[in-house]
């Protein structure tokens, strides 16, 4: 007779956690942040409400962790960095090409139905809920923006950008138009638009003769 094996509690917990992540993201995309509840997440995930409260203190905490996990998985699926390094904006020596590559990937991510609905819901709620908005910026946006700062500073050191340009402001010339078009749905969000943003931004940031 084969020896009796105890259930693997860690594996069961991982499955439950994944189910909760998926349920939270699905519900916030379908019903919006305010109408999403812990009870609804638990029912969709097939777990008890107390399981969620044991791991997270609030609905916001569940959704934030679920969204960060989604963003991490999206980055991993985009492909590992050389040598297993943490993700960074490529530095091929061609700043325009590197930025276009990254902005095109951002366009694809924002247009992905899996990412779009929860991103819109959390972005909208962050506008009216200052605490959630600050957490969204700290945990998700700031680490991503720091990658742009690093790449733009390297471009400055290489003489590709004006030495007096402030990287933190310069990156907003790239990110803000993309976000504005996506958030307000003013016009289609496309690769061609991303390329044009880079061309316009770098035209104003290039060293002056």
8-state DSSP, 93: S
Contacts (Cβ under 8 Å, ≥6 apart) of 86:
none
pLDDT along the chain (209 residues), means of 10: 46 84 90 90 94 90 88 66 62 96 93 85 85 88 94 96 95 95 95 97 87
Give this prediction's pTM: 0.80
pLDDT value of residue 80? 43
- C-beta pairs of 51-57 under 8 Å, 24+ apart in sequence: 51/16, 51/20, 52/20, 55/17, 55/20
Residue 124 near residue 117 (C-beta atoms within 8 A): no
pLDDT value of residue 75? 67
């Amino acid at each position: 007779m084969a020896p009796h094996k105890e259930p693997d509690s860690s594996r069961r917990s991982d499955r439950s956690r994944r189910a909760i992540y998926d349920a939270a993201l699905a519900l916030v995309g379908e019903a919006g942040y305010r109408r999403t509840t812990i009870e609804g997440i638990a029912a969709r995930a097939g777990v008890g409400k107390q399981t969620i409260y044991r791991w997270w203190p609030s609905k916001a905490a569940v959704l934030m962790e679920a969204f960060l996990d989604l963003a991490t998985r999206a980055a991993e699926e985009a492909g590992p960095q050389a040598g297993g390094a943490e993700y960074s904006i490529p530095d091929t020596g061609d700043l325009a090409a590197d930025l276009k590559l990254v902005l095109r990937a951002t366009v694809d991510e924002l247009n992905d139905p899996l990412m779009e609905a929860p991103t819109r819901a959390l972005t909208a709620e962050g506008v009216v809920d200052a605490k959630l908005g600050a957490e969204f910026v700290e945990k998700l946006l700031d680490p991503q923006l720091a990658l742009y700062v690093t790449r733009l500073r390297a471009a400055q050191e290489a003489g590709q950008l004006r030495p007096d340009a402030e990287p933190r402001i310069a990156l907003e010339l790239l990110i803000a138009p993309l976000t504005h078009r996506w958030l307000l749905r003013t016009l289609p969000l496309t690769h061609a638009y991303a390329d044009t943003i880079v061309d316009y931004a770098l035209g104003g940031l290039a060293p002056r003769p």
